[in-house]
Amino acid sequence: MQSIPVDTSRLGALMCVVKPEPKIADFESKEVKKDRDGNTIYTVAVTVRQDGRRVSVIEISVTGEPKGIEEGMPVKVTGLEAFSWAMGDRHGISFRAAAVTPVAAAPASAPATGGGKVGGA
């Protein structure tokens, strides 16, 4: 399966819509999918907003549990790759990334200070 690097700078705003959960390899046995080294693979559903109002949801697989990500939170995706797949009559594109991390919140502005005295005079 050939990987295709994805330029995330062209994907616009990325937001988590389903927080990270272990990827299931076998739905009957509930076996969790692991990588070659035995690390759990997680899936994060992320919205991708491109031109204007058009929004798509993609599920991104990542090795190891992404920390600090909650639903509705802006995220940064590093090393995103796309893979085309086909099984019988079914086909699609899957996504894998090196990391999915929360976007740091902008620092809150300092509270305004009044120049007057506090208390009685």
Write down the domain spans for the chain: 3-102
pLDDT score for 118: 47
pLDDT score for 70: 94
pLDDT score for 107: 58
**Which residues pair with residue 50 across a beta bridge?**
none
**Percent of the chain predicted with pLDDT > 90:** 65
Q: CA-to-CA distance for 96 and 41, rounded, in angstroms? A: 10
The ranges of the chain with pLDDT < 70 are 1, 105-121
pLDDT score for 11: 85
Q: Say how far residue 2 (Cα) sits from the centre of its chain.
A: 22
pLDDT score for 111: 53
Q: Which two tokens stand for residue 89?
A: 């009559």
Give the count of beta carbons closer than 10 Å to the beta carbon of residue 42. 21
pLDDT score for 55: 86
Judge if pTM exceeds 0.85: no
pLDDT score for 49: 80
DSSP 12-52: --EEEEEEEEEPEEETTTTEEPB-TTSPBEEEEEEEEE-ST
pLDDT score for 82: 96
Specify the CATH number of the domain 3-102.
Answer: 2.40.50.140
